[in-house]
Chains A and B, each alone.
Chain A
Amino acid sequence: MRLRQGQFSFLPDLSDDDIRVQAQYAIDHGWAVSVEYSDDPHPRNTYWEMWGHPMFDNPDAAAVVFEVNECRKEHGGKYIRVIAFDSTPGWESIRMSFIVNRPATEPGFRLVRQEAAGRVVRYTIESYATREPEGLRY
């Protein structure tokens, strides 16, 4: 399967130049761009590991591409995403998020069903990869 999180997961994988162009869009809007990585792609795993702080005062998206590549050197077998934070009043949240690196294979998710009373089913989604301990996945 292909993890469909992020705003461009239905497009072909982004090139470094694509990443630069999209990161520059964020920077030009005054948003702080950040790089994060994870080996736990569960849709409700909110907190991926931070590859350093959000780049608050960086005017040039080339620096984002540089950090993505540095992160790839260490975590190239994991998911890496670029996100952009907007501190504008009334937002103060993420405005962009897109995946820039994927594991070589994506085994996907198992849907666990627990039959409960009244035909109700309790659902749990588990990433096949997270059966292994952190660091040994993918």
Chain B
Amino acid sequence: MNEMSNPKMDARKRYSAGVLKYAQMGYWEPDYTPKDTDVIALFRITPQDGVDAVEAAAAVAGESSTATWTVVWTDRLTACEKYRAKAYRVDPVPNSAGEYFAYIAYDLDLFEPGSIANLTASIIGNVFGFKPLKALRLEDMRLPVAYVKTFQGPATGIVVERERLNVYGRPLLGATVKPKLGLSGRNYGRVVYEALKGGLDFTKDDENINSQPFMHWRDRFLYCMEAVNRASAATGEVKGTYLNVTAGTMEQMYERACFAKDLGSVIVMIDLVIGYTAIQSMAKWARDNDMILHLHRAGHSTYTRQRSHGVSFRVIAKWMRLAGVDHLHAGTVVGKLEGDPATTKGYYDIFREERNPMALENGIFFDQDWASLNKMMPVASGGIHAGQMHQLLTYLGEDVVLQFGGGTIGHPHGIQAGATANRVALEAMVFARNAGRDIWNKGEDILRDAAKTCTPLKQALDVWKDVSFNYASTDAPDFAPTPEVSM
């Protein structure tokens, strides 16, 4: 793979004007051992026909760090060996002809502390449009502890979120208000009240509910908080509704977030499309104001879904844990949206673990230490219902928000009944799991037993009993369990 191995050229020849191969410029160092403080990126590269894989990897290293297309003498005014990213390993992707995994190491000094914008400007900047590649995908990153420690991390974290909500030992329950567009503030609050009183912990604005002609943001916030407080008084529980503060400018977002805080909301929400810097700003605001911060990953599928080009969601998850959000959607496995079980487990581990060991079967290529950054709460949303509770608890575990939108509001006997069905199904399943029952195989029996004393659950199970979404996944890990190609 490595006929071009590291040509140590005489400096005068190396820097004479002209064009060299990237590998010859020093961006390919097969003997390089990454330092503990290096940022490492794993790219899936698909070189154009006739382009050597090692040269393509070196080009990616070059174009995502110091290189330009030609030799520049001004390199010699710098410690350029240090600033060059170094491709140090290229492996063919198992079972995918023409694709290669390229490992590239970057010195920590290439990056501004605490800035996702700066990190991404290098790692996914110009390089993704580079002509010698047909396609390029950022699969995973190893973020050194020294760099992780320059970020705030989740404003609240799973532990403190649970303490604030006074909810322990079971997944949280939520629902997105539907229809997502067109409800007036008054009608919207009705859905919130019914769902929370029925047994949900949270309701949620959808990603595109901001401040439109049919419902301006202040109106929504006021009616929603009436609903939250009414439901809290009716149940004796802390309740919340994710008030989406996404807006056209930071000033407007701060104004909305401050209003939500003044009204006593425990949580606000933003969309991924506001951008990395805006997300970091809101995370800092949330930490300063004791607010849980929910992030809806609106737009991510435009670059996360295709296997050969874009950025894997696991990388987005890592960036968002650094950036400091508390909630982030991460897939359901069983619902209507993309989600291979093994890949989704990798995402959940990135959200919730102190340390991620390498797990190629889950798409995790590196050991990652989170250096005591708070944990993020994954949110499972999209085409799930009470009848899948045993599968959801098995796949997703306990620290997750299960969001049943249609699965609450679409209940034949109303929103409260839908919420109660979900809550009873959840509590019965957690109880059974704790009691040592085999919920994976006996899940349906457990639900039927619980439905004997809960008519809304019986109705839910009858309506949705045959609903499932069994499609092939477009994004599963590529690995072969043999060390020579996968390590």
Write the residues of chain A forming the contact surface with B, with a CB cutoff of 8 angstroms.
Answer: 1, 3-5, 7-12, 18, 21-22, 25, 41-44, 46, 83-84, 89-98, 108-111, 119-121, 123, 125, 127
Contact = CB atoms under 8 A, between A and B. Distances in A.
A109 B236 contact: yes
A26 to B, nearest CB: 8
A39 to B, nearest CB: 13
12 contacts: A1-B234, A4-B235, A4-B237, A11-B424, A12-B453, A25-B435, A25-B436, A44-B166, A44-B238, A94-B163, A123-B225, A125-B229
A43 B232 contact: yes
A27 to B, nearest CB: 11
B309 interface: no
B467 to A, nearest CB: 23
A110 B168 CA distance: 25
Contacts of B431: 8, 11, 18, 22
Contacts of A1: 234-236
B159 A43 contact: no
B328 to A, nearest CB: 18
Contacts of B423: 10
A94 B238 contact: no
Contacts, number: 102
Interface centre among A25, A108, A127 (most CB of B within 10 A): A25
B237 A43 contact: yes
Contacts of B236: 1, 3-5, 41-43, 108-109, 127
B384 to A, nearest CB: 18
Given A10-B427, A97-B169, 10 more contacts: A7-B427, A7-B430, A8-B430, A10-B424, A11-B428, A43-B237, A84-B169, A90-B354, A92-B159, A95-B169
Interface in B424-459: 424, 427-428, 430-431, 434-436, 450, 453-454
The 4 closest A-B pairs by CB, nearest first: A96-B169, A25-B434, A123-B229, A111-B233
A9 B454 CA distance: 13
Contacts of B263: 120
Contact of B226 (A83, A91, A121): A121
Nearest to B434: A25
Nearest to B199: A10
A42 B168 CA distance: 17
B239 to A, nearest CB: 8
A109 B169 contact: no
A4 B199 contact: yes
Contact of B232 (A22, A84, A125): A125
